[in-house]
Chain A
Amino acid sequence: MKVTPKKTCLIVDDSKMIRRVAARILRDLKIEPSEAGDGREAINMCRSSMPDAILLDWNMPVMDGLEFLKTLRKEPGGSEPIVVFCTAERDVMKIAEALDAGADEYVMKPFDSDIIESKFFEAGFV
């Protein structure tokens, strides 16, 4: 029997606790999570293996979420992953800026599993 590989999602957040919570939610959705603590680490991971989706924080040291997204979209294969911003930023202008930069969906913290599932559904991922 052919086994369909699990979809993968890279969680990019400087908070280890947020990464753990998000990873647990993604596993419940049958999505295989991986983790990066900032944008620079995330770009290196994407160059090594492009994930199917990325759950992306905005404010991070080294390289923030917006800079990461702009860089990602220029990478070979970088237009493929579905990117869901997951941030405490709730300003409408910030949300519009994220969408203009190539985000597919947007989660405002705090979140729960229902919201994550709903947003991945909106983005056409589950």
Chain B
Amino acid sequence: MSGVLSLQPSYYEALKRLTLELAGVKLGEDHTFLIETRLSALARKEGFENLSDMIDQLFSRGQTRLAIHVVSALLERSARFFNDRKGYDVLGETLLPALHPLYRGGQLRILSFGCSSGQEVYSTAILADQMKDVFPGMQIEVTGVDYPSLALERAKEGRFTHFEVQRGLPIRYLIEYFDRVGEDWVVKESLRSRIRFLDHNLLSGIEDMETYQIVMFRGSLSQYSPPAIVRIMRNLSRLIARNGYLMLGSDETLGEMNFGFNEAPVAPGCYLKVGKDNSGSQEDVSEASRPAKTSQYKDYSAA
């Protein structure tokens, strides 16, 4: 494989260290080829002659903006719409019904933490729109947050290729929520207007961010180092309002540390915030916000 790789071996190690330090993510030995392909594309977009020139500049001048873009490109996930479908079933059948009594007549905020190119954000907004008659009087706003990156810029545009819209998005939703623009598909303004995107370092402080009733952080827990997981979970615990929920992937768990969430998931990968929040909310931790497990907990063990 070395014949197709262009970087000095020492640069791979340096890039792995950079990714661990900036994002808390440990790249594996098998990421060498991924580093080449993802960063070559970034180098072209950044106007460099080749990948080596970009990496030389990154490590010789230590440009922060370039470092963030490099790490973001390395961490970009191959996202698809309605990925891990069980999570959306839980959202629609368990979490939103549980929160509806508290937020009827108000706004419920959902955050996609590490939203990459936005498929999770738009899928959630579509689900909310499809269920608006089921939850009258509850406005749902969806926000996506991630490191500043080319993927996040694409998410903000709401523009997807014809390959991307065919991964997980039912055709009826495509024609209801997207317009065809040239060869691409662009999210309609009616849906786009209910969505926000934020640039933010996922490991840094979140003091300037508002609280959310549901935070989705699904499918990426395993790639973070243990110290980074603790840091992220502490941040997420602060970001989630009391009575709110943390959604991990349906096969992910918090393990032994609960970070202010209830110990047992209310649904696969789904935890209720039972501790204090930093929103100043006076809402009571009432039974109204807890999903009725016997009637609404969906058993996926046989799925």
Q: Which A residues fall within an 8 A CB radius of B? A: 90-92, 95-96, 99, 105-108, 111-112, 114-115, 118-119, 122
Contacts and interface: CB of A to CB of B under 8 A. Distances in A.
Given A95-B175, A96-B175, A105-B170, 4 more contacts: A99-B171, A99-B175, A115-B167, A119-B166
Interface in B256-303: none
A92 B186 CA distance: 13
B175 A115 contact: no
Given A108-B162, A118-B80, A92 B175 contact: yes
B180 A106 contact: no
B175 A118 contact: no
B168 A90 contact: no
Contacts of A106: 171
A99 B171 CA distance: 9
A5 B142 CA distance: 44
A115 B166 contact: yes
B180 A90 contact: yes
A119 to B, nearest CB: 7
A90 B170 contact: no
A92 B176 CA distance: 10
B12 to A, nearest CB: 28
Contacts of A119: 166, 171
Contacts of A105: 170-171
Given A92-B180, A122-B171, A115 B163 contact: yes
Contacts of B65: none
B45 interface: no
B172 interface: yes
Contact of A118 (B166, B172, B179, B180): B166
Interface residues of B, number: 13
Most chain B beta-carbon neighbours within 10 Å: one of A91, A119, A122: A122
Interface of B: 80, 162-163, 166-168, 170-172, 174-175, 179-180
B56 to A, nearest CB: 36
A90 B180 CA distance: 8
A92 B174 CA distance: 9
B230 to A, nearest CB: 35
Contacts of A122: 168, 170-171
A90 B162 contact: yes
8 contacts: A90-B162, A92-B175, A92-B179, A108-B162, A115-B163, A118-B80, A118-B168, A122-B170
B84 to A, nearest CB: 12
A112 B80 CA distance: 14
Contacts of B175: 92, 95-96, 99
B167 A114 contact: yes
B123 to A, nearest CB: 13
Nearest to B171: A106
A25 to B, nearest CB: 14
Given A92-B175, A99-B171, A107 B180 contact: no
Most chain A beta-carbon neighbours within 10 Å: one of B80, B170, B174, B180: B170
B137 to A, nearest CB: 31
Nearest to A109: B162
Contacts of B162: 90, 108
A118 B162 CA distance: 14
Contacts of B166: 107-108, 111, 115, 118-119
Contacts of A107: 166
A108 B179 CA distance: 15
Contacts of B168: 118, 122
Contacts of B80: 118
